[in-house]
Amino acid sequence: MSLLALSGVTKRFDGFTAVDGVSFEVAKGAIGGLIGPNGAGKTTLFNTLAGIEVPDEGAVSLDGIQISGRAPYRVFAAGLARTFQIPRPFPEMSVLENCMMVPSAQAGEAFWANWFLPGRVGAEERATRAKAEEIIDFCGLTRVRRDAASTLSGGQLKLLELARVLMADPKIILLDEPAAGVNPSLMRDLVDKIVALNDRGHTFLIIEHNMDVVMSICDPIMVMAQGRLIYRGDAAGARADKAVLDAYLGDVH
């Protein structure tokens, strides 16, 4: 069954159509891959899915619930979490607290609860912290968990982005170029983690330029060019598709 469903999603900026009538579905438990040349509209589509941009036309639903046009924090609450192409940590906060801030509806986020329900806030914080330590360990950041995020390397920031979205137990995780700018060994590590998480039931939609990554772990693969979806299918089909080759793989041939 489809978890994420887009129908006719269109986003224009002053007459320039960045995303043009894109429709596809990602099934529960899948790792969807979204590829396309630079400027194809992939990140704009991600921003539209995440509520940062409001689509001019079309609709997005997650698990049967309409999420298009909602504010980002509401989309997140509905179960869609995304990372950023260029990591956006909270630089002057520790790695631990970058993660601990994520879970939704924490009692202690309400101003008054800190005065009148200190026991509950404390208990929740201990649980949140235990969970954060576990996820930080999974992401291999334990050594730096006390450090400010501003001191992390580019690869560590990618891992932090992943750790943060995992804190939310989202229904679907959108990763924007997780392997970009990451050294080969860390990249293999990241791919292993994504596969391991997928085995545990996490659904992904990934934008990625690294074809080895996309072709090896993603199914289905969606190809965008000039704002339009030009292909949806498996990896072998993408390699053989004329339109895909012209638009995208043609560059590297």
Partner 1 sequence: MIGVLSYLIFFLILALTFGIAVMGLNLQWGFTGLFNAGVAGFLAVGGYTHAILTGPARDAVFGGFELPFIVGLLGAMVAAGVVAIIVGLVTLRLRDEYLAVATFGIAVSIQLVAVNWEYMTGGTLGLIGIPNPSKVLADGPLRQNAIYLALVVGVTLLAYIGLQRIVQSPWGRVLKAIREDEVAASSLGKNPTRVRLEAFTLGCSLMGLSGALYVGFIGFVGATDFLPIITFQIWTMLIVGGSGNMKGAILGAMIVWGVWTGSGFAISKVVAPEWQAQSGALQAVLIGLILVLTLLMRPKGMIGEDVTVSRHATDL
Residues interacting with partner 1, by CB under 8 A? 50-52, 71-73, 76-77, 81-82, 84, 88-94, 96-97, 100-102, 104, 106-111, 114-115, 121-122, 124-126, 129, 146-148, 164-165, 168
Q: Nearest to residue 175, comparing CAs of 64, 81, 76? A: 81
Structure tokens at 41: 């509209």
Alpha carbon distance 53, 181 (integer Å): 26
C-beta closer to partner 1: residue 89 or 220: 89
Q: 6: which strand partners?
A: 24, 60
**Percentage helix, strand, coil for the chain under 3-state DSSP, each rounded to 5:** 40, 25, 35
Residues 6+ apart with CB under 8 A from 86: none
Residue type, 71: A
Residue 163: how many CA atoms within 13 Å on its side-chain side? 30
* Residue 127 CB-half CA count within 13 A: 10
Nearer to partner 1, 124 or 208 (CB): 124
CB nearer to partner 1: give 15 or 119: 119
Q: Name the residue nearer to partner 1 (CB basis): 88 or 143.
A: 88
Looking at the Cβ atoms of 66 and 114, the one nearer to partner 1 is: 114
The smaller minimum CB distance to partner 1, of residues 78 and 217, is found at 78
DSSP 8-state symbol, 83: -
